[in-house]
Amino acid sequence: MKVDFAGGGVGTTFNELFTAVKVVIENTLYKIEPIIKECDEFNKRLNRSPTEMDPIKDLLDRDKGLIERCKRIRRAPRAFNAELLGDFKFYIQPLDARNNGEVLWEVKQVKELICSCQVNGVALQSGLGAAGNLAVPDAPDFIVGSVVETSLRKLREQLLEEGVSVIVVSAPGGCGKTTLLKKLCHDKDVEGKFNIMFVPVSKKPTLTDIVRKMIQHNGLDVPEIVTEDDAVRYLQQLLIKIGQNPVLLVLDDVWTDSQSIIEKFVFKKIKHYKIVVTSRYEFPNVDLVHHLNPLPHEEALELFRRSVTVDGRRLVAPDDELWDKIVKRCKGLPLALTVVAKSLQGKDRSFWETKLLNLSRLGLDSDILDCLRKSLDDLDGNPSIKERFMDLGSFPEDRKIPATALIDMWVELYRQDFDGILAINDLHELIYRNLADLVITRRDSDEDEDKCYSSHYATQHNLLRELAIVECNQGDVKNRERLILDLAKNNFPDWWSKQKQSTLGARLVSISTNGTFSTPWPDLRLPEVEALVLNFETNIQTKSYALPRFIEKADKLKALIVTNYSFFPAELGNFHVVRPSLRRIRLERVTVSLLSMGKLHLHNLQKISFFRCNIGQASTSNDAKISNAMPNLVELDIDYCNDLVTLPDGICEIKPLKRLSITNCHNCSALPKQLGQLTSLEVVRLNSCTNLLELPNSIGTLQKLISLNISDCLSLSTLPHQIGQLNNLKRINMKGCPRLSVVPWLTMRLSNLKEVNCDKKIEVLWEPFKYNLDSLNIMVSEEEANLDWLHD
């Protein structure tokens, strides 16, 4: 070691030199003392003899009187300089010894680490270079609640189970997937068994780059990797080399476009090799998918309490109500809870109140919003799915969104197929990406075949819904594609009050009101609107809702969705304002006479749906024919309309009608005798019409009928003989028909019948026909009761 000492001022006087020498000597001794102590410590760590330091100690003892001697005599500078140089040499030697000791100690640590890793079959487990360090990040000191504990326990069991190769932990952004995996990897049962590599996967990862890091992490020379095939080959060699111990590969935050990379990481022939993936998306080809749910309120409170503390102390103690409101705004999302909590650490009550105000008004904290936006980043290459995601913001929070409403909206907005197959595919794409969830309240075997999705609902985390609304509200209001308005308590936006007659370019408009809404509708101009979603609640006094009159001027309106979220149906007024341009109407929990619609002019209407509506008022002489009002109707859906006793005869004059669905209408006891006039019918669904006594004989003329569902028609005791004339009938669902005791013998003529879904009792009735109907498949199943629909 070379040390360069800068000299002092040349030409100083003898007295100044004497003073300087004295200071140098004192400082030299002061510096030497701790160095000697460090040298002793390193000698102990390196297992050296303590006597190695004795000569240096003797030198110190010999020169202790140096300063005192200098005080008594004034030596010549030359003589004194010689002694001083000796002191400098004395200082340098311990310094060298200290530095050499540090180096030797570090070398010994590395040597022991390498030896330890080689014993375990790995060249070097701890990444010595930043680029190849795939060690598991530190886990949080605590986890909160049974939700996380349950997930941790379940994942541990799945990971240690034989035969499991790939596990996906799936949840929306901010739910704590990465935190859960960190905790799992530091679990003593997992950490002690596996050689773990924790790989953060970027938005657009390359297989070659990841494999390079894995090789470097294990202390091996990184070869030249040009192609993905090279990467797969080298990865397999690496796993074989380190495979004496089980290997766990964690791929954190994998995007949907990286699914092919995951598949290339799988080597089923290599035993004791497991992969755990965290992702905002689901991977349908992976058997084990673990869904991580938001925290329930009590556990969210606990996480918030622990996150807002500093060194175990809460520096502020607001009242429980304020505390509770802030936590509720975070919607059980761990990310939101921790971000908001840390922003309030040590702040006084005014900061807490301001934070609550911002969360209530803006919905999302900016930090939370930025994180959640990452869930949409990869949708830039798939704009259609991003559009569908933003459309979900058109429906109120904490409500299940009927898939049929989405179909009606998307078919018209995006020019999709009539049956909504593409719309359902888009919904599943959102679910796959964890931007929505799917709830199916009842499964009928014929639903998918008949393109009927009345039991399918989408749900969405409230924070994701708020993100969708934030995205919709970008840009000038006049130029937005979507206009989403919440007018609770007559809270009109500023731009509306300033411009009484606003012309807006939105194609999708959603307006929500509650029971306090009373202001008359302003005169909005919506020349481009194609889908209008009206969500409302009524109060006890009014129980009525009037359609806004500006609908009369919406010449391009094609889909109208009106939903009452009150407990009882509300009288729907101003129905005459609906436009002839309408192609789809969906009404929920409203009172509107089906017969009174005969006065309308809906010549373009192709589908109309009534869900939990009152539609069965008696006809009057002034009622016009409903077939004249909607002559091109293709689909009629009536579900849970308990005041319906029989279908109006005029329906049977709508020749284009292909799909007729009257379901869960428990007071419906009869169908029109003229039903056979609907010669275009392809699907008839009558399931759960518990009072339906019989099917009309004219049903035999429905030569295009493909599917018939009479399941859970508890009062149905016979089938008409004419059912044997349905030459194109392929499916019959007759589960839950306990009074049905005979299947007409003419059914043996149903040469195209492929599937009968029934109970065991009904199966016996079909046995004689199996010999004539070679391709008949009798499906016997006992459906479990499902009352999920009551939750809404």
Query: Quick one: pLDDT at residue 89?
Result: 53
Phi, psi of 510, rounded to the nearest 5 degrees: -125, 125
Q: Which two tokens stand for residue 216?
A: 């470097």
Mean pLDDT to the nearest integer, 207-217:
85
Is residue 97 over pLDDT 60?
A: no
Least confident of 110-119, 475-484, 690-699, 774-783: 110-119
Summarize pLDDT for 101-144 with one digit per residue, the tens.
Answer: 554 444 444 444 433 333 333 333 333 333 457 888 877 766 77
Is residue 750 over pLDDT 80?
A: yes
63, 85 Cβ separation under 8 angstroms: no
Distances (CA, A) of 159 to 173, 206, 249, 505: 23, 26, 11, 53
Is residue 619 over pLDDT 70?
A: no
pLDDT band at residue 69 under the 50/70/90 scheme: low
Least confident of 93-107, 672-686, 765-779: 93-107
Query: Quick one: pLDDT at residue 179?
Result: 85
Query: Quick one: pLDDT at residue 81?
Result: 45
Secondary structure of 235-265 as H, E, C letters: HHHHHHHCCCCCEEEEEECCCHHHHHHHHHH
Angle between helices 334-343 and 297-308 (to 10 degrees): 30
505, 483 Cβ separation under 8 angstroms: no
What is the C-alpha separation between 292 and 418, in angstroms, rounded?
35
Summarize pLDDT for 524-538 with one digit per residue, the tens.
Answer: 889 999 999 999 988
Across 105-114, 368-377, 682-691, the highest mean pLDDT is recorded for: 682-691
What is the C-alpha separation between 146 and 764, in angstroms, rounded?
49
Query: Quick one: pLDDT at residue 732?
Result: 94
Q: Which two tokens stand for residue 243?
A: 């495979």
> Between residues 655 and 362, which one has the greater pLDDT?
655
The residues, any chain, with a CB within 8 Å of residue 236's CB and separated by 6 or more, are 267, 270
What is the C-alpha separation between 548 and 532, in angstroms, rounded?
11
What is the C-alpha separation between 430 and 281, in angstroms, rounded?
9
Q: What angle do CA 743, 747, 751 make, to 5 degrees?
A: 150
Mean pLDDT to the nearest integer, 423-451:
78
Q: Which residues pair with 275 in a beta bridge?
A: 166, 249
Least confident of 173-177, 388-392, 427-431, 709-713: 173-177
Query: Quick one: pLDDT at residue 29?
Result: 54
Going along 158-316, which residue ranges are E strands? 166-170, 195-200, 247-252, 273-279, 288-291
Least confident of 134-148, 393-407, 679-693, 762-776: 134-148
Residue 726 backbone zone (phi > 0: left; psi -120 to 50: alpha; other: beta): beta
171, 147 Cβ separation under 8 angstroms: no
The residues, any chain, with a CB within 8 Å of residue 436's CB and separated by 6 or more, are 389, 392, 427, 430, 458, 459, 460, 464
Phi, psi of 729, rounded to the nearest 5 degrees: -65, 125
pLDDT band at residue 377 under the 50/70/90 scheme: low
Least confident of 232-246, 521-535, 604-618: 232-246
Is residue 316 over pLDDT 80?
A: no
577, 547 Cβ separation under 8 angstroms: yes
Summarize pLDDT for 548-593 with one digit per residue, the tens.
Answer: 999 999 999 999 999 998 878 899 988 889 989 999 999 999 999 8
Query: Quick one: pLDDT at residue 688?
Result: 93
Query: Quick one: pLDDT at residue 6?
Result: 37
Q: What is the pTM of this model?
A: 0.64
Q: Which two tokens stand for residue 712?
A: 């859970």
Is residue 661 over pLDDT 70?
A: yes
> Between residues 620 and 238, which one has the greater pLDDT?
238
Q: Which two tokens stand for residue 281?
A: 């998306």
Least confident of 87-96, 267-276, 300-309, 312-321: 87-96
Looking at residue 551, what DSSP letter applies? G
